[in-house]
Amino acid sequence: MHEAVRRVESVLSGLPRAARIRTLTEDVPTAAAAAELVGCPVGAVANSLVFLGDHGPVLIVSSGAHRVDLRKAAAGFGVAKLRRADPEVVLAATGQPVGGVAPIGHPAPLPTLIDLTLADHPELWAGGGARHTLFATTFAELVELTGGTPADIRKQ
């Protein structure tokens, strides 16, 4: 098992319910593909996206159903501008590769915004720390586990 997946499992082991990482057998390059494979609405896929702000990397956990409004997100972090982090920065900040980034299990906590529209779904699916891995969670758990701030970051 990949070390990053072990770190995510370690965080999940602290939950009162048994949360397990699911390893997929197929490539899921999009939120829609992940949703189809696990049988959930695309809006219930919680994408973990790393950006760079004025003070380093930040994490945005966004619904797979829409794009992030970077102006709103920058304001939520109190910075002038955000730019997408390249794969090397993502790996350094999270210990996880692009395509499998989990919202948890990072070497150090990242400032985090969580898309409010994720609260519309009773169950969410988030990256498990490596490509082809996901875990089920809830909006409340996601906020608690990440220490993130719920925010309106949906691009209209």
The DSSP code sequence of 95-152 is SS-TTS--SS--SS---EEEEGGGGG-SSEEEE-SSTTEEEEE-HHHHHHHHT-EEE-
Q: Which domains does the chain have, with CATH numbers?
A: 3-151 (3.90.960.10)
| pLDDT value of residue 1 | 60
pLDDT at 2: 86
Buried/exposed code over 17-32 (b: 16+ C-beta within 10 A; e: otherwise): eebebeeeeeebeebe
Residue 25: predicted pLDDT: 86
Q: Closest Cα to residue 106, out of 64, 152, 149, 147?
A: 147
What pLDDT sits at residue 28? 80
- The pLDDT assigned to 18 comes to 74
Per-residue pLDDT at 45: 98
Q: Walk along the chain (156 residues) and give the pLDDT tens digit of each residue.
A: 689 999 999 999 988 877 789 999 887 878 999 999 999 999 999 999 999 999 999 999 999 999 999 999 999 999 999 999 999 999 999 999 998 999 999 999 999 999 999 999 999 999 999 989 999 999 999 999 999 999 999 998
Q: How far apart are the first and last CA of the chain?
A: 39
Instruction: Confirm if 97 and 130 have CB atoms less than 8 A apart.
Output: yes
**What pLDDT score was predicted for residue 136?**
96
